[in-house]
Chain A
């Protein structure tokens, strides 16, 4: 178990930058989730921490030790790959043992550790099978088993659940979180799925274009996105981002200086009669019922689209004219040109 520290870490492929200067400190036992759209440099960053990619510039410390040019095997980390990367010709047991054998662990120690990991992950019945005789979920468990047998300083996960079906993904997500809490091992988890990110993270790192957009707890990031990108990326359905200049029939009240875009979370829209706040009037274009709530697509009078997430069955019909509103405090204000928050 150890802290991990990244200082102005950069990676170029040839002359093309993939990671453009990352500063991040992960404290001991913390679960950090790197989230961002595909191609934003998450995997590259994770692989630099693992030692699978060289560092172009900057510093990388694990447990206080600069590991920038240390071999992956000597960094005391374990990695779980997207495609599991299990050795296909070895049994599950041999897969788990391999890293321990290479490090010259004594026989008894190896057996004890494998038995422990197998018990934790409930893979004992498959220990003598080959990976191809296992289902996707079982393979994922074995891949995690291979990580935990070594009791490393940190776990690195690169989209480990993206090959599983939706139901299994939710189930494994919960198990990973429980396991991480139980072992208390520092973890860095990469995903492009914001729901996975929100539920797993102690702290969320939102990345875009090789840079960090925002670091914070999932709730902080959800409640106060610092940039337009984060506002649009985190949350489902996504935050409504409305250009103030074009929505001039809405009375936004007094906005902070430089505000060009305002954001409204779908679940911040109130359908109760307006007492105070900002009125939003428009026509219901489409209703998507999803059980406990409904997503109502409105066309505001000024011509902007807006999605409202309302509890239950909405109580309106497509084509209805509605006068809804939001609380002033629920407004997110952004500078249009810099993308930064202004309030």
Chain B
């Protein structure tokens, strides 16, 4: 009876399964297979075992790309979280012109990444960019990002924060608005200072939203590509390359599909590890906070 009903409904479910199989499962398996072979254009793939993974991991260019990625992810995501949280609290605390400011804060999310990068390239152009000119006129140091790798990294971090802040902000703002105001009133009567109310009411109740925002941003940030590619192409001299750019170079500049596939899997595993570790730490903190 049970198996017959499964046979009966199978044709109805099949399209979804076919879709998932064909766009996610099969390509992933193909990439696994590819990562175990040496492969390029006009050349039959030859099985090399884990050699591609070893090659990638021992490649100094990959290591520098991985380091750059981790650095950008950790710095950008946390600054973004702090800014987003601060802004969410500011908005929830009542701000003049709130509707207008809300639109202004959310605007970057409506801008395509490519256009955003072009805009920023123009604004920060080391010779004629309005921001550069402004910094110069105030006697401040400028961002010489086309020569100086550390300046380029700063600009990439700023750009990615600017682009993704609306995402973090909107999640935290919505979660903050969901906290009933009578809890704050009870806390006021209970003699809590603003800081104590933040620590003992706001933060624990925002905990789950913070975890969600961070997790998503970690995963997004780990595949950081267009900001870097369109701004510096990983230059000067591969110094600002991130993992996704390294992958792109392997695949499409050097046509080394095997190592590119291996890089892709390393990326997936690394971001999973990072995300899982983070969630673990935060969950522990949130529950510890609640019990303290």
Residues on A lying within 8 angstroms of B by beta carbon are 50-52, 71-73, 77-79, 81-83, 85-90, 98-99, 102-103, 146
Given A90-B290, A102-B196, decide whether A85 and B183 contact each other with a Cβ distance below 8 A. yes
State the interface size on chain B (CB cutoff 8 A).
Answer: 18
B186 touches A85 (CB 8 A): yes
Q: Of B47-55, B133-141, B199-207, which binds chain A?
A: B199-207
Instruction: Give B287's nearest chain A residue, CB to CB.
Output: A89
In the complex, chain B residues whose CB is within 8 Å of the CB of A51:
188-189
Complex-state Cα separation, A77 to B189, whole angstroms: 8
Instruction: Give B188's nearest chain A residue, CB to CB.
Output: A72
A85 touches B205 (CB 8 A): no
Check: B11 CB closer than 8 A to any chain A CB.
Answer: no
Check: B192 CB closer than 8 A to any chain A CB.
Answer: yes
In the complex, chain A residues whose CB is within 8 Å of the CB of B180:
83, 85
A79 touches B196 (CB 8 A): no
Complex-state Cα separation, A89 to B292, whole angstroms: 11
A79 touches B191 (CB 8 A): no
Q: Which of B165-213 contact A (CB under 8 A)?
A: 180, 182-183, 185-192, 196, 200-201, 204-205
B189 touches A99 (CB 8 A): yes
Complex-state Cα separation, A86 to B205, whole angstroms: 12
In the complex, chain A residues whose CB is within 8 Å of the CB of B189:
50-52, 72-73, 77-79, 99
CB < 8 Å neighbour of A52 from B185, B191, B196, B289: B185
In the complex, chain A residues whose CB is within 8 Å of the CB of B290:
89-90
CB < 8 Å neighbour of B201 from A50, A52, A77, A87: A87
Q: Which of B77-111 contact A (CB under 8 A)?
A: none
Complex-state Cα separation, A102 to B173, whole angstroms: 27
Considering residues B182, B191, B196, B205, which has the most beta carbons from chain A within 10 angstroms of its beta carbon?
Answer: B191
**Nearest Cβ distance between residue B94 and chain A, in whole angstroms?**
14
Instruction: Give A104's nearest chain B residue, CB to CB.
Output: B191
**Nearest Cβ distance between residue A128 and chain B, in whole angstroms?**
11
Complex-state Cα separation, A82 to B186, whole angstroms: 12
Instruction: Give B204's nearest chain A residue, CB to CB.
Output: A89
**Nearest Cβ distance between residue B44 and chain A, in whole angstroms?**
60
**Nearest Cβ distance between residue B5 and chain A, in whole angstroms?**
38
In the complex, chain B residues whose CB is within 8 Å of the CB of A52:
185, 188-189
* Interface contacts beyond A72-B185, A90-B290, A102-B191: sample of 8 additional A-B pairs, CB < 8 Å, sorted by A: A73-B190, A79-B186, A82-B182, A83-B180, A98-B192, A99-B189, A102-B196, A146-B190
Complex-state Cα separation, A79 to B189, whole angstroms: 8
Instruction: Give A75's nearest chain B residue, CB to CB.
Output: B189
Given A81-B182, A85-B180, decide whether A99 and B205 contact each other with a Cβ distance below 8 A. no
**Nearest Cβ distance between residue B41 and chain A, in whole angstroms?**
58
B188 touches A99 (CB 8 A): no
**Nearest Cβ distance between residue B75 and chain A, in whole angstroms?**
30
**Nearest Cβ distance between residue B245 and chain A, in whole angstroms?**
42
A85 touches B192 (CB 8 A): no
A85 touches B182 (CB 8 A): yes
A87 touches B192 (CB 8 A): no
B191 touches A87 (CB 8 A): no
Given A79-B186, A81-B182, decide whether A88 and B205 contact each other with a Cβ distance below 8 A. yes
**Nearest Cβ distance between residue A204 and chain B, in whole angstroms?**
25
Complex-state Cα separation, A211 to B158, whole angstroms: 57
Instruction: Give B183's nearest chain A residue, CB to CB.
Output: A85
B191 touches A99 (CB 8 A): yes
Given A83-B182, A85-B183, decide whether A71 and B200 contact each other with a Cβ distance below 8 A. no
**Nearest Cβ distance between residue A70 and chain B, in whole angstroms?**
12
Complex-state Cα separation, A89 to B187, whole angstroms: 13
Instruction: Give B286's nearest chain A residue, CB to CB.
Output: A89
In the complex, chain B residues whose CB is within 8 Å of the CB of A78:
189
Instruction: Give A88's nearest chain B residue, CB to CB.
Output: B205
**Nearest Cβ distance between residue B211 and chain A, in whole angstroms?**
14
Complex-state Cα separation, A79 to B191, whole angstroms: 12
Complex-state Cα separation, A72 to B193, whole angstroms: 11
Instruction: Give B181's nearest chain A residue, CB to CB.
Output: A85
In the complex, chain B residues whose CB is within 8 Å of the CB of A82:
182
Task: Identify 5 residue pairs between A and B in the complex whose beta-carbon atoms are under 8 Å apart, listed by A's number.
Answer: A77-B189, A82-B182, A86-B186, A87-B186, A146-B186
B183 touches A73 (CB 8 A): no
In the complex, chain B residues whose CB is within 8 Å of the CB of A71:
188
In the complex, chain B residues whose CB is within 8 Å of the CB of A81:
182, 185-186
In the complex, chain B residues whose CB is within 8 Å of the CB of A83:
180, 182
Given A98-B200, A102-B196, decide whether A85 and B191 contact each other with a Cβ distance below 8 A. no
**3 tightest A-B CB contacts, nearest first:** A99-B190, A73-B191, A102-B191
A89 touches B191 (CB 8 A): no
In the complex, chain A residues whose CB is within 8 Å of the CB of B196:
102
**Nearest Cβ distance between residue B196 and chain A, in whole angstroms?**
7
Instruction: Give A150's nearest chain B residue, CB to CB.
Output: B190
Mark B248-292 against chain A: 1 for CB-CB distance below 8 A, else 0.
000000000000000000000000000000000000000001100
**Nearest Cβ distance between residue A48 and chain B, in whole angstroms?**
13
Complex-state Cα separation, A204 to B190, whole angstroms: 28
Complex-state Cα separation, A89 to B182, whole angstroms: 15
Complex-state Cα separation, A317 to B22, whole angstroms: 79
Instruction: Give B290's nearest chain A residue, CB to CB.
Output: A89
Considering residues B180, B182, B186, B189, which has the most beta carbons from chain A within 10 angstroms of its beta carbon?
Answer: B189
